Structure 1
Amino acid sequence: MTAMSQARSIIETEGHRSNPPMKGATTIFQGALVVMDAGVAIPGKTGLNLIAVGVSEQTVVNSGADGAKTVPVKRTTLKLFNHGADAVTAADIGKDCYIVDDQTVAKTSGTNTRSVAGKVMSVEADGVFVRIP
């Protein structure tokens, strides 16, 4: 592509919302941590090479094939449950935490079995605020 020679329309997105294609035969509940796995959105789970993309803004049931439906996702700082056996603490603020399931995070990668959820922003008695990248 050559350099511009005249003004053009600006096409942008705010970057906080997206609608990734969902894995077939999958339900993602409103409020669930959503991750990408091989190009399709699934609920957060323990696993490697998953990419956290945000929180589901509504419940979506994809009873069809991969990509037959999309899920509205928002990137945000989200309160998730703290894994009791591998709990995130105040000493972890600013560090990565790891996905256990679609509503739970842990302090460690579980001996390299968990993917990064995001950065710990705050820890409270009933959960962890995680900034989804």
Structure 2
Amino acid sequence: MAALTAPKRTQELAGGPKRFQHPVKATVAIHAGALVILAAGWLRPAREGQGADNAAKAADAATYRCVGIAEQSIVGGAVDGDVVVDTRSGCFLMKNGTAGDVLAKDDVGFPCYVIDDQTVGKTNPNSTRCVAGVVADVTGEGVWVEVSPVIAAALTA
């Protein structure tokens, strides 16, 4: 094989946005457009790890996988999985972190981390955040992040 010496048409696998359905954690409210994670198999709004100390927060965050955005607003039922929600993976505009978590153009192609269900940051302090996805671009509007279960799995492995 040799490198290109002229332009070519590169094919892309068809299919457009990737849509999935996931069971929602009991009583959890998810807003349409929210960045969402699977936490121990149940969908919830993206968040940092929870717990009494950083070790507990890191252990909690290690169970998270960012899968995309919620397609509709929903509240989980009385029992885990009573309700399902449609999610979509793709490249989405998120809010940029602040202070030491601000992402910049030189972060394109690198992972970013969940701060909350609409914000991503550059760092993963004490391993208490899961990977949100890969930075596709940084603009004055925010951070374009490529989010999918495949990216989350690959960057967490």
CA deviation vs aligned residue, 1:51-96 (integer Å, no higher than 9, x gap): 0000001101113210000011000101000011211111100000
Q: Give 1:105's aligned residue.
A: 120
Q: Give 1:120's aligned residue.
A: 135
Instruction: Kindly report structure 1 stretches of 4+ aligned residues shifted beyond 2 Å.
Output: none
Counterpart secondary structure, 1:75: strand
Further displaced range: 15-24 or 96-105: 15-24
Unaligned residue ranges in structure 1 (runs of 5+): 1-13
Q: Give 2:80's aligned residue.
A: 66
Q: TM-score, normalised by structure 2?
A: 0.73
Q: TM-score, normalised by structure 1?
A: 0.86
Q: Give 2:11's aligned residue.
A: none
Equivalent positions of 1:1-133 (< 5 A) are 16-47=18-49, 48-49=61-62, 50-85=64-99, 86-133=101-148
Query: What is the rounded CA distance, in whole Å, between the counterparts of 1:65 and 1:81 in structure 2?
Result: 32
Q: How many residue pairs end up in the alignment?
A: 120
Counterpart secondary structure, 1:114: coil
CA deviation vs aligned residue, 1:18-53 (integer Å, no higher than 9, x gap): 110000011110000010000100000012121000
The AA in structure 2 aligned to 1:107 is K
Counterpart secondary structure, 2:23: coil
- Counting aligned pairs with the same residue, the percent is 37
Unaligned residue ranges in structure 2 (runs of 5+): 1-14, 50-60, 149-157
Query: What is the rounded CA distance, in whole Å, between the counterparts of 2:130 and 2:115 in structure 1?
Result: 8
CA RMSD of aligned residues (A): 1.2
